[in-house]
Amino acid sequence: MSPERAEILGLEALSWLVSEPAGIERFLVASGVEAADLREAAGSPGLAVAIIDFLLAHEDLLLNFCESSGTAAASLHSARRALDPES
C-alpha cells in the first residue's frame, strides 16, 4: 500500500470514528488530542497513524469500522506499515 493510500484510509477511519460518539470520545481521551485540533491535524500522517493504531487496539471499533466501510482489517495493518515502515 502506498503512503498516500494509507493516509486516505486514515482519513476514512477518522471520518467514521467521528460519526461514533463513544468511539471518538475514547480516541480523544486515549490520545490526548483535543477535539478542536482534529480538523487541523486531519491530513497529517501522524494523526492517521494514531487513528489506525487506536482502531487496531480496540477490536470492537476495528470490526465495526471494517464492516461499515467494507475494509479488510489487514488493510489497516498495511496502512500502518506504509505510514511508519520502521515500526
Q: What is the pTM of this model?
A: 0.87
**Residues 8, 14, 17, 23, CA torsion sign:** positive
Cα-Cα-Cα-Cα torsion 40, 41, 43, 49, nearest 10 degrees, comes to: -170
Question: pLDDT tens for residues 47-80?
Answer: 889 999 999 999 999 999 999 999 999 999 999 9
What local confidence, expressed as pLDDT, does residue 9 receive? 93
CB atoms within 10 A of CB 39: 9
Domain ranges in the chain?
A: 3-83
What local confidence, expressed as pLDDT, does residue 87 receive? 63
Find which of 1-5, 30-34, 42-46, 55-59 is predicted with most confidence, using mean pLDDT: 55-59
